[in-house]
Amino acid sequence: MNQSDNRLWIETDRPGEWLTLARPNPSMELMSVTGSTRLWTEVHTQVCMALVSPGQRGVEAKWRTRARTLTARPGSMMLIEPGDVHATQAVNKPADFDVVRFVPDVLENAMRELELAGSFHFKSPESADPAVAQVMMELVWAQADGAEAFQLAALSAELVSLMVSSLRQGLSESGIVLDPVRDFRLRRVKEYLRANLRQKPCLDELATELDISKYRLCTIFKAAYGVSVGQYWMAARMAEASRLLLAGTPIKMVTAALGFIDEAFFTRTFRRHRTMPPAAWVRLQQQNSRRPRSQPLANRA
């Protein structure tokens, strides 16, 4: 838990163990737990990914599923399918971890949209794939920071795409070949996002318009530009906010113009992207712009 975590946490029946739950949409659930030594046991009805938070020195958990005893360490993921039983057998010290659960239809629909034969199954109940873990953490952090629904949807689609491409049983290697300049789909995505800075974009609508799966869309976009669809959209909003602020538009009007729920949320988002609150950022811009060329910069402490 930290200052940028806007989630409500509750202490469980175990002293020192804290838990938070969120359901960004009806098909996905997020759970985060800190300070846990509990021997969790569950019969799963959803597709579940549990990531032991990286950076925890010496943390180790023994768990059992599919007639196998496995060891989970920081940075590793437990991958569980509907019908599987997960039983933690031992935890050597208090641990933090995050869990993402999807209803099974999410993965089955992704398989169909990506024109992949068969049903989704994990090729192994454990993985330390860094790309999958990174996107999963980004999804959890975005929820903790109170991100927009569109950003969460984009990260969710990106995670599902990685699950299908990297963790699926029967994986067939196939690279993504595209030209970020000439590929009309990518140009159209950027045009659509910039045209919807206030009105929240819709991944399904965009994918339908381009006649491409939203999962493939999120994958090729990030492969081309190095940022997710949601990150690009928020960065475009911040660029427009900066332009409006420098033009003298009051913060309250900028907040409304770009569809933020309130000034506090806009200020927090702006500070994360520009490292300082809007008013301070504008003052710094104005002061530096007014400084005569011959005047030296003030020494920084």
Write the CATH number for 34.
2.60.120.10
Same-domain check for residues 160 and 207: no
d(CA 162, CA 1): 27
Same-domain check for residues 159 and 216: no
Q: How are beta strands 47-52 and 41-43 bridged, if at all? A: unpaired
52-74 pLDDT, tens digit each: 999 999 999 999 988 789 999 99
Same-domain check for residues 68 and 147: yes
Same-domain check for residues 222 and 272: yes
CATH assignment at residue 194: 1.10.10.60
d(CA 16, CA 35): 6
Same-domain check for residues 45 and 102: yes
44-54 pLDDT, tens digit each: 889 999 999 99
Please check whether residue 73 lies inside any domain of the structure. yes
| The predicted structure's pLDDT at residue 209 | 85
Same-domain check for residues 79 and 119: yes
Same-domain check for residues 161 and 193: no
Please check whether residue 267 lies inside any domain of the structure. yes
Please check whether residue 176 lies inside any domain of the structure. no
**How many domains would you assign to the chain?**
2
Average pLDDT over every residue of 11-23: 91
Please give the residue that has the higher pLDDT: either 286 or 283: 283
pTM of the entire predicted model: 0.80
Look up residue 215 and give its amino acid. Y
Same-domain check for residues 156 and 191: no
228-281 pLDDT, tens digit each: 888 889 888 998 999 999 899 999 999 999 999 899 999 999 988 888 899 988
Please check whether residue 35 lies inside any domain of the structure. yes
Please state, for a pLDDT cut of 70, what percent of the chain lies above it: 90
Please check whether residue 10 lies inside any domain of the structure. no
On the question of pLDDT at 301 being above 60, the answer is no
Same-domain check for residues 145 and 242: no
Same-domain check for residues 51 and 158: yes
d(CA 99, CA 42): 13
Q: Which residues of 173-184 are buried (b: 16+ CB within 10 A; e: fewer)?
A: eeeeeeeeeeee
Please check whether residue 154 lies inside any domain of the structure. yes
On the question of pLDDT at 77 being above 50, the answer is yes
- Cβ(157)–Cβ(218) below 8 Å: yes
Give me the domain span that covers residue 279: 184-288
Same-domain check for residues 265 and 143: no
Please check whether residue 298 lies inside any domain of the structure. no
Please check whether residue 216 lies inside any domain of the structure. yes
134-184 pLDDT, tens digit each: 999 999 999 998 888 899 999 999 999 999 999 998 754 444 444 555 567
Question: Given pLDDT bands bounded at 50, 70 and 90, which one contains residue 288?
Answer: low
Question: Given pLDDT bands bounded at 50, 70 and 90, which one contains residue 299?
Answer: very low
| The predicted structure's pLDDT at residue 34 | 96
Orientation of helix 184-195 relative to helix 214-225, angle to 10° = 90
| The predicted structure's pLDDT at residue 179 | 55
DSSP letter for each residue of the chain: --TT--S--EE-SSTT-EEEEEEEETTEEEEEEEEE----EEE-SSEEEEEEPTT-TT--EEEEETTEEEEE-TT-EEEE-TT-EEEEEEESS-EEEEEEEE-HHHHHHHHHHTT--S---BSSSEE--HHHHHHHHHHHHHHHTT--HHHHHHHHHHHHHHIIIIIBTT---------TTT-HHHHHHHHHHHHTSSSPP-HHHHHHHHTS-HHHHHHHHHHHHSS-HHHHHHHHHHHHHHHHHHTT--HHHHHHHTT-S-HHHHHHHHHHHHSS-HHHHHHHHHHHHHS-TTSPPPPP-
Same-domain check for residues 210 and 88: no
On the question of pLDDT at 84 being above 90, the answer is no
